[in-house]
Amino acid sequence: MCEDQAANGVIYFEARYSPHLLCLPGGKLNATGVVEAVKRGFDRGEKKFNVKARSILCCIRGLGQYADDVLQIATDYRHLGVVGIDVAGSSGGADEQYESKIVEIFQEAFKRGIHRTVHAGESGAAKEVEKAINVMHAERIGHGYRVMQDPEMYKKYFLDQHRIHLEACPYSSVMTGAVPLDWKNHPIATWAKDKVNFSINRDDPTCFDNTMTSELHWAKDKVNFSINRDDPTCFDNTMTSELQLVKDEIGATIHQLWQCVSTQLNAAEASFLTDEEKKPIIEKIRAAEPSLSD
């Protein structure tokens, strides 16, 4: 994973996964062992590929029996590569469909100072996003496209304030039916115009065979967006060649391309790293900003 991310110019990523779905009940490897194994792999990858990697542990809708364990592992390993928790899984199109146990876990995570991102507003409606923010104390929303169904809510949480970060994944949003196949009216086009706090990410790469580069091209070519960055992932100078190619071959101006990169600045600032760890990543992104004479 570190090798793949580095090959796409990524310098930091947060991998989210359910440790319980990566081990067999009653087997020799338990959920804690999965997290430890991932940490060892990330440690090797960081040294070999010069990329920083952290873990976000997922609760799963319909599998609330694992939620307590997710919280405990996130607590025990919060200084050993685990930076937060998430909840994933299908909502079945229903509003606010989070088991009471999972809601309790997120409320306790908030009390413990463990970072929280919540899949919401992808297949469920806008009320799901509101519950994630107000009841589950979400700092970031995974997807969140259907908040656009409620203009008042959109204004309240994403226009009037910029505290909550939206993690957009263009390719999967269409492939899963989360948004209509109407690229020019995709929510991220509005978010970009409104200067909402969001970033472009990849979703389920083993399912969609996508990369950060391909997600950027979807945003550029389909949504008529400039070029931009799941989880949050940030770009180093190795992305410069990709941007230069789009500038030369497609004719985008350097300032249009910067619109995309600056969205990744949102991603860096919304990451679950400490402020000290964020600083060099943010500085690298800011250093890429073109001058007015470019």
Which residue ranges form the domains of the chain, and what is each CATH number? 2-287 (3.20.20.140)
- 274 in helix, strand or coil? coil
Contact by Cβ (8 Å): 30, 23: yes
Q: How confident is the model at residue 291 (pLDDT cuts 50, 70, 90)?
A: low
- Provide the pLDDT for residue 95: 54
* Structure-block tokens of residue 229: 């960055």
* Structure-block tokens of residue 259: 């619109």
Q: How many residues does the chain have?
A: 294
- Provide the pLDDT for residue 233: 39
pTM above 0.75, yes or no: yes
Report the candidate in 122, 136, 32 with the shortest Cα–Cα distance to residue 75: 32
What is the average per-residue pLDDT within 283-290?
78
pLDDT tens, position by position, 152-208: 999 999 999 999 999 988 777 777 777 777 767 788 888 888 989 998 877 655 554
Report the candidate in 189, 140, 198, 192 with the shortest Cα–Cα distance to residue 168: 198
What is the average per-residue pLDDT within 47-61?
96
Contact by Cβ (8 Å): 178, 145: yes
Going by C-beta distance under 8 Å and a sequence separation of 6 or more, which residues neighbour residue 258? 226, 288, 289, 290
Nearest-angstrom CA–CA distance, 62 and 252: 45
Q: Report the mean per-residue pLDDT for the chain.
A: 81
pLDDT tens, position by position, 12-22: 999 999 999 99
Nearest-angstrom CA–CA distance, 127 and 185: 21
Q: Which of 14, 122, 130, 269 is catalytic?
A: 122
Q: Decide if pLDDT at 255 tops 60.
A: no
Concerning whether 122 is annotated as a catalytic residue, the answer is: yes
